[in-house]
Amino acid sequence: MKTNIYFDNACTSYPKPTSVPEAMANYITSLGSNINRGCYDVAYKTEELVFETRELLKDLFNGEDSRNVVFTKNVTESLNFIIKGLLKPGDHVLVSSMEHNAVMRPLVQLSENNITFDRIPCHEDGSMDTSAIIPLIRPNTKAIIMLHASNVCGTLLPIKDVGQLCSKYKLLFILDCAQTAGVFDIDMVDMNIDALCFTGHKSLMGPQGIGGFILKSHMINKLNPLISGGTGSISHTEFIPEFMPDRFEAGTPNIPGILGLNASLKWIRDKGISNIKEHELSLTGHMLEELIQLESSTDKIKLIGRRNIESRVGVISITTTDDELSNIAYELEQEYGILTRVGLHCAPSAHKTLNTFPTGTIRFSFGPDNTHDEVDFVAKSLKTLLTR
């Protein structure tokens, strides 16, 4: 029987640290209480753990205040909260040309309300020059909304420079760190990030269904809450609480998800971000070398994006010259148990930038559990498939 080799961590990370399902099961079987509602010991214990998770997130991203950590179900919901809560008719924003549809679809939806956007053009390897931003700034430009790393080709965008530029031109800076949280250092103060949107189930190693955003305090009153309802607080009034996080969190949260994320954040803290990064970049470098060799010996694949580990994350895309991409991805799985992702990865704008639209790419993405032996096996299998 073939054993699966999981190279689809950019989609969702697998396997999770064992402490993640343990924490979730422990909550369901031994605590089980809601938060902000019950005055009994297990409710207080659950509240403490949820609070601790906000603290872990605040510390990871150098947020201002753990009360400004708001839980959602994923980064898509977080971006919708920020984009739709912040922008008003007449506003203009800038995005990179590498964005995921989690940013593009809300913006296209809002364009019906006279909210406009421009794409900052990126190079064919997915990289960006910040000098391309300045000519696009208009008097009504309110914010730059941008991902930290491409989920298609792994290229990092220069977020520290963009943060400085936002500060100089008085623009808000909203970051989608779906592909970098927990692997790359992200500092909301140092990088001048006003709202940071994260998802729990990718490089943060938590379960699906939990994500969130972290606000600088000056953002709180700039955002209209997208949802409202019971919070367990100030129940005498039908008005939305003004304090955090209740201003943006209504209804019962995903407590098993939050506590699973609590466990994965502790796992990341104990393992050390720099060690995780070093491991993933080492696998990336190895895979890039194998692919570059294959590219020159067979002429049948084309590596997309940057060709070395500088300014990139552990996400690699290829196209092929004479076979259907989906056939190759299918055969990699059926014959060798190698799990990849094929297609457009919810990012048509990025593929247009990379010149891989509408065909798409096969994507290999690494996580903490992958090994160099797996990279060797994948390279060998790919070579066999392409040369037979």
Interacting residues toward ligand PLP by CB under 6 A: 74-76, 100, 102, 147, 151, 176, 178-179, 199, 211, 346
- Residue 75 CB, shortest distance to ligand PLP, in Å, is 4
- Residue 74 CB, shortest distance to ligand PLP, in Å, is 3
Q: Amino acid identity of 327?
A: N
SS3 132: helix
> Cβ(362)–Cβ(153) under 8 Å?
no
Q: Which one, 176 or 374, has the nearer CB to ligand PLP?
A: 176
Q: Which one, 11 or 223, has the nearer CB to ligand PLP?
A: 11
> Which residue is it, tokens 């809300």?
106
CB atoms within 10 A of CB 365: 28
DSSP-assigned beta bridge partners for residue 36:
none
- Residue 65 CB, shortest distance to ligand PLP, in Å, is 24
Q: How far apart are CA 359 and CA 318, in angstroms?
A: 11
Q: Which one, 339 or 346, has the nearer CB to ligand PLP?
A: 346
Q: Which one, 200 or 232, has the nearer CB to ligand PLP?
A: 200
- Residue 223 CB, shortest distance to ligand PLP, in Å, is 19
Q: Amino acid identity of 316?
A: I
Q: Which one, 199 or 262, has the nearer CB to ligand PLP?
A: 199
Q: Which one, 315 or 328, has the nearer CB to ligand PLP?
A: 315
- Residue 235 CB, shortest distance to ligand PLP, in Å, is 31
Q: Which one, 67 or 148, has the nearer CB to ligand PLP?
A: 148
Q: Amino acid identity of 76?
A: T
> Cβ(265)–Cβ(60) under 8 Å?
yes
Residue nearest to ligand PLP (CB): 151
Q: Which one, 313 or 375, has the nearer CB to ligand PLP?
A: 313
Query: How far lies 93's CA from each of 7, 36, 42, 143, 204, in Å?
Result: 34, 37, 45, 5, 28
What is the enclosing helix (H) or strand (E) of 256? helix 255-271
- Residue 102 CB, shortest distance to ligand PLP, in Å, is 4
In sequence order, which residues have a C-beta less than 8 Å from that of residue 164 and are 6 or more positions away?
Answer: 192
Report the side by side order of strands in the sheet with 315-320. Answer: 301-304, 315-320, 361-365, 341-343
* CB-based burial, 46-76: b 16+ in 10 Å, e otherwise: bbebbebbbebbbebbbbbebbbbbbbbbbb
- Residue 228 CB, shortest distance to ligand PLP, in Å, is 22
DSSP-assigned beta bridge partners for residue 196:
175, 214
- Residue 346 CB, shortest distance to ligand PLP, in Å, is 6
